[in-house]
Amino acid sequence: QVHLVESGGGVVQPGRSLRLSCAASGFIFSDYAMYWVRQAPGKGLEWVSVISYDSNTKYYADSVKGRFTISRDNSKNTLYLQLTGLRDEDTAVYYCGGLGCWGQGTLVTVSS
Amino acid sequence: DVVMTQSPLSLPVTLGQPASISCRSSQSLVHSDGNTYLDWFQQRPGQSPRRLIYEVSYRDSGVPDRFSGSGSGSNFTLKISRVEAEDVGVYYCMQGTHWPLFTFGPGTRVDFK
């Protein structure tokens, strides 16, 4: 059974950085692409970034390109999202996803 | 970029009655491999999204058979044959054909009249 657990969210000032993690279990993590999606308060779902199974391919939404970096450690079954240059509009619940499953999300609040 | 639209955006439903949500894409979702990567997600209040349907019409494990998906090309439908209380929430379609640029629809809020 696929299980994804995000962590690393919190309250951060504009311009600062944060690293999100997603611990995966229940499947062969190294075989699958993984992604991050976010949901601002009261809003819909926005795809953020995706990484191929071998880390060779990474793509980002235009809204985060140049500020966020996706990575993975297949030896630790963990997905990461490094958030830098945070803006108010980055406030959202961030979900990691793979194999059609999602975690419970971690809340990032950007506020001065 | 592919744009996904849904209608209606708000759907008042009656317990035990059928319900239907439409999803349209600005480009065909038929992949070069012949498959169509159109998924449906359900997000109940206060919960994370859960996939119900993948590749247009395949139900995920544990999804009640009152949920069904259909469609082709750029027009798709999610149907609930008989709405139950636990079906309240927001439903999103998502295209994965034009990988890696996944796109979600705006969501359809389902609630009781």
Q: What is the pLDDT of residue B113?
A: 85
Q: What is the pLDDT of residue B53?
A: 97
Residues of A whose CB is below 8 A from B99: 50
Cβ of A50 within 8 Å of Cβ of B99? The answer is: yes
Name the DSSP class of B30.
B
Q: What is the pLDDT of residue A12?
A: 97
Residue A33 contacts residue A98 (beta carbons within 8 Å): yes
What is the rounded (10 degree) CA torsion for B18, B67, B96, A43?
Answer: 60
CA distance B62 to chain A (A): 12
pLDDT digits (tens, 9 = 90+) for B46-82: 999 999 999 999 999 999 999 999 999 999 999 999 9
Burial class (CB in 10 A: 0-12, 13-18, 19+), B87: buried
Q: What is the pLDDT of residue A57?
A: 93
Nearest-angstrom CA–CA distance, A68 and A85: 8
Sorting pLDDT into bands at 50, 70 and 90, what band is B101?
confident
Task: State whether residue A47 sits within 8 Å of chain B by CB.
Answer: yes
Whether pLDDT at B99 is above 90: no
**Nearest Cα to Cα of residue B52 among B79, B31, B25:** B79
| Tokens of residue A49, six digits | 């970034």
Residues of B whose CB is below 8 A from A57: 100
**Nearest Cα to Cα of residue A38 among A89, A74, A99, A112:** A89
For chain A, which ranges sit under pLDDT 50? none
Q: What is the mean pLDDT of residues B93-102?
A: 90
Cβ of A57 within 8 Å of Cβ of B103? The answer is: no
Residue A63 has a CB neighbour count (10 Å cut-off) of 14
Task: State whether residue A41 sits within 8 Å of chain B by CB.
Answer: no
Which residues neighbour B46 within 8 Å (Cβ) at sequence distance 6 or greater? none
Residue B28 contacts residue B13 (beta carbons within 8 Å): no
pLDDT, mean over chain B: 96
Residue of B nearest to A45 (CA): B104
- Please count the CA atoms within 13 angstroms of the CA of A2 that sit on its side-chain side: 19
Whether pLDDT at B100 is above 90: no
Higher pLDDT, B1 or A73: A73
Q: What is the pLDDT of residue B32?
A: 94
Residues of A whose CB is below 8 A from B104: 37, 44-47
The reply to whether omega before B8 is within 30° of 0 (cis) is yes
